[in-house]
Structure 1
């Protein structure tokens, strides 16, 4: 019975976490109120992960998978709660099914009136009373956000929207995209467990499988980021031994959500020969070009859509807007923030590429991705789904604080202001720094103990990448 106790305790914690997520998503709380409940779910998640450490090894994988199914399913209990992006996905799928490029027309364009239905374009009588409805010039309204601008999503994501539309019943509405996202989320869990059973600790898969960000952002809000996460994890899992395949998968990840481009330095860790570098980079670039080509041929306008306008809207071209570059603005003039980001990210990229461990490319990928988040301080919480998956691969749990900071910035930032963004990401940076210091101190203590015991040194050289792994893990964060 004592051996079974940790298993029972962990299972009970997962049950409570699942119930808390269901209550949270079916409730009416928004903004800071939702954030309070969400933080409680994160506390339960952290407790369950700690309890998992004492579960017998043979029970770990079944428990991680069972917990993943329960936690993921919690995201299906209600309509999208904190984001309207999935309504744009549904619209883009419908437009493509009609043989029209999603990059050519904004949802409000009168040329597409024949594709409108009552779900995405409600009766004008309810426009003044409905939640999250955007007004149209003709007096109507729509659930699709930013209806006056073209879509921003890359071609692999657009292909996913079309596939879900084609496979969905006529009255599926949001459930089709949520169900598809749940399948993708569980696929990520399965892939993480497979990789970590061979090259790590399968307990780490719980960082993704049980994280509240997955049922909330990947499933309930059905964000396409989960598709990019699946391709990203697959790419990093194989790139050390199959560089061309890894490059292809990384290209698909980038063409699903542009953010995974920050994984490239990690994928190139320790590959200093030009032939090795090109074996990854060329397939990635080729895939991006190939998946864009059909849309370029089909479209009358630019396939970049609203990308430039989005960057301006979010304040990435103006350090004084929207809470972007919040930490840098504490120590630098606003105008210096963008070049400072470029300088720091260049240094991090070179360090990861030159000193990284090719056998563990996710270690460098986590460093570059996490650094980008701390420098840019984005205001959307679902971007951090990629970071959560990288934490699962690498095990440095302190980086999860960055994901929680993104949620605080998104949910409470519009009410509290830039101070909320600065405080949330500042606390996350302190957590990451504390984790780095503790790991570095532990490494030095271990080295001192080994030196004091005068243990004989091995006569053979280190395995490939061992020195680089130690340097990056302990010296670069």
Structure 2
């Protein structure tokens, strides 16, 4: 069976890439090892895209879903026991949980502060990034998860298991949505086999997996017409990683706005109130991170980085970019929230579920491309809504950023263009096809009248 063969090949590439890990490190050296690792992950993405094409374009037997789930779980099981070696972020998660277990607000001190010296050890503290100058950047809901996990077990492995478990909860929600939409369950492969998703959470345990679980629950609640609950869950996801707030217009479409807005605001207020003793430091390292990543000045944005290669940009270019992008995202959100779109190729009641997920995928991709992060795991959340509403450009964006693990030119335009340029091409093709379909439909209706 072709699907099984592709799954076994994906597992083989996962094994091969894992063997390049050097025990006790959180980065790959030498450069040739990193290049080989990225090459294996790129091959895994090719296998993944072939598998996506197969499940979307072929009628597969009912047992195919079990093959999909088995391969997805095995791939995660291969990586879970391994120490994180592409990122050291998870050590900060465990540290923040440990600080809270000691009754200390995690936003109050940087890890290297003498006030926390009694909490230091030889396995977690030495591997915390930015320990000397950065307070934690993670919002309140993330902090609550860190505290809960460390209360049970203060190990990196326990944190990884919890994060993968919550990511799988999001996967379960998408299975429920596939059934509600009357779509083949094997489409869960779009999330389950995504190499970027697998490595981001099962290997490095990024907190984005928690947000994915909450987003899945929010989409399921919204599909069940529980708008208030959906708003609260989305707010909780945004208190793990701020980006999911961009999905609010998709969840608000066709429902009384006060329900999700009110519930979401209550969740946000309660979340920050729990850590209010830190005062203005409750935002943590967020302002410093924006500056460090070139977002406040504009140099970190892919589009501006490309324009800068043509000539020197004025000092206000970063601000202008942020204003224009914010206005564009606001207009897109308003258009989606108005609920004037319709799917003519999907029968009711499935159209509401598919349209919800398609809108979520478009919004998620738009905000991610707008900020153009150079860390690959920032893109992993894009695969989730594509399970129900597969948008080619978004599926590409959810997997191709494995290439960003390598940075051969140490700049923000040329190498990232391998991710963004194909996505833009796919988006333009999809837009033109949609316009052509509308023209044909209009002409057909006119002829019948």
- TM-score interval, smaller chain: 0.7 to 0.9
1:350-402 Cα deviation digits (max 9, x unpaired): 22122346653222222222112222211121111221112123121331222
Where does residue 273 of structure 2 map in the other structure?
Answer: 293
How does 1:61-210 map onto structure 2 within 5 Å?
A: 61-121=65-125, 142-147=126-131, 148-168=133-153, 173-201=155-183, 202-210=185-193
Q: Is 2:290 the partner of 1:341?
A: no
Where does residue 402 of structure 1 map in the other structure?
Answer: 397
How does 1:224-239 map onto structure 2 within 5 Å?
A: 224-239=207-222
1:377·1:406 contact (CA, 8 Å) conserved in 2? no
Displacement, 1:14?
Answer: 0.7
1:73·1:215 contact (CA, 8 Å) conserved in 2? no
1:265-307 Cα deviation digits (max 9, x unpaired): 1111244xxxx1111111011111112212114x366211111
| Distance verdict in 2 for CA 1:149–1:34, change over 3 Å | same
The separation in 2 between residues aligned to 1:284 and 1:414, in whole angstroms, is 42
1:72-124 Cα deviation digits (max 9, x unpaired): 22322421121110011111111111111111111111111111111124xxx
2:169·2:216 contact (CA, 8 Å) conserved in 1? no
Aligned residues: 419
Where does residue 283 of structure 1 map in the other structure?
Answer: 263
Displacement, 1:221?
Answer: 0.9
The separation in 2 between residues aligned to 1:443 and 1:206, in whole angstroms, is 30
Where does residue 24 of structure 2 map in the other structure?
Answer: none
The separation in 2 between residues aligned to 1:330 and 1:296, in whole angstroms, is 44
Displacement, 1:38?
Answer: 1.2
SS at match of 2:58: coil
Q: Is 2:239 the partner of 1:255?
A: yes
Where does residue 349 of structure 2 map in the other structure?
Answer: none
The separation in 1 between residues aligned to 2:234 and 2:53, in whole angstroms, is 32
Displacement, 1:233?
Answer: 1.7
2:42·2:402 contact (CA, 8 Å) conserved in 1? no
SS at match of 2:109: coil
The separation in 2 between residues aligned to 1:387 and 1:239, in whole angstroms, is 18
Structure 1 segments unaligned to the other structure (5+ residues)? 1-7, 122-141, 458-477
Where does residue 473 of structure 1 map in the other structure?
Answer: none
How does 1:319-358 map onto structure 2 within 5 Å?
A: 319-321=298-300, 323=302, 325-326=304-305, 334-335=317-318, 336-354=320-338, 355-356=340-341
| Distance verdict in 2 for CA 1:97–1:424, change over 3 Å | same
Where does residue 364 of structure 1 map in the other structure?
Answer: 359
1:72·1:214 contact (CA, 8 Å) conserved in 2? no
RMSD of aligned Cα (Å): 2.6
SS at match of 2:282: coil
| Distance verdict in 2 for CA 1:433–1:37, change over 3 Å | same
Is the deviation greater in 320-329 or in 108-117? 320-329
Where does residue 311 of structure 1 map in the other structure?
Answer: 290
2:168·2:213 contact (CA, 8 Å) conserved in 1? no
2:4·2:67 contact (CA, 8 Å) conserved in 1? yes
Is the deviation greater in 393-402 or in 376-385? 393-402
Where does residue 40 of structure 2 map in the other structure?
Answer: 37
Report the TM-score, using the length of structure 1 for normalisation.
Answer: 0.81
The separation in 2 between residues aligned to 1:328 and 1:193, in whole angstroms, is 42
User: Among 416, 425, 436, which residue is 2:420 paired with?
Assistant: 425
User: Among 210, 221, 229, which residue is 1:245 paired with?
Assistant: 229
Where does residue 22 of structure 1 map in the other structure?
Answer: 15
The separation in 1 between residues aligned to 2:440 and 2:219, in whole angstroms, is 31
Displacement, 1:12?
Answer: 2.1
Report the TM-score, using the length of structure 2 for normalisation.
Answer: 0.85
| Distance verdict in 2 for CA 1:187–1:344, change over 3 Å | same
The separation in 2 between residues aligned to 1:383 and 1:23, in whole angstroms, is 24
The separation in 1 between residues aligned to 2:439 and 2:69, in whole angstroms, is 36
Displacement, 1:407?
Answer: 3.4
Is the deviation greater in 372-381 or in 355-364? 355-364
1:266·1:356 contact (CA, 8 Å) conserved in 2? no
